[in-house]
Structure 1
Amino acid sequence: MSSYSGAAAYKRGAGAYARVGVESGVMSASPHQLIVMLFDGALASMRAARIHMQSGNVAEKGKAISKALDIVNNGLMAALDEEKGGEVASRLASLYDYISRLLLAANLHSDEKSLDQAEALLEDVASAWREIGSQAGRE
Structure 2
Amino acid sequence: MLDEERVSYASRLHRDPRETYRSVDVASRTGGASPHQLIAILYEDLLRELRLGALAIDEGDHAAKNARLTKAIALLFALESGLDFDKGASVAEALSRFYRGCRDAVMRASIEANAALVRDVVANVGEIADSWKAIGRS
TM-score of the alignment, normalized to the shorter chain, above 0.5 = yes
Unaligned ranges ≥5, structure 1: 1-8
Identity %: 27
Superposition deviation, residue 82 in structure 1 = 1.1
Matching residue of 1:61: 65
Superposition deviation, residue 59 in structure 1 = 1.3
- 8 Å Cα contact 2:51/2:119 also seen in 1: no
Matching residue of 2:76: 72
Asked if 1:32 is matched to 2:36, the reply is yes
Tell me how large the CA RMSD over aligned residues is.
Answer: 1.8
Superposition deviation, residue 133 in structure 1 = 0.3
Bigger proportion of residues as helix: 1
* Bigger RCO of structures 1 and 2 (CA < 8 A, at least 6 apart): 2
Amino acid at match of 2:136: G
- 8 Å Cα contact 2:54/2:118 also seen in 1: yes
Q: TM-score w.r.t. structure 1 length?
A: 0.84
Amino acid at match of 2:134: E
Q: Give the count of matched residue pairs.
A: 126
State the SS of the aligned residue for 1:84: coil
Superposition deviation, residue 11 in structure 1 = 9.9
Following TM superposition, where does structure 1 have runs of at least 4 consecutive aligned residues deviating by more than 6 angstroms?
Answer: none
Q: TM-score w.r.t. structure 2 length?
A: 0.85
- 8 Å Cα contact 2:55/2:115 also seen in 1: no
Sort the Cα spacing of 1:127 and 1:15 in 2 relative to 1 into closer, same or farther, 3 A.
Answer: same
Asked if 1:104 is matched to 2:78, the reply is no
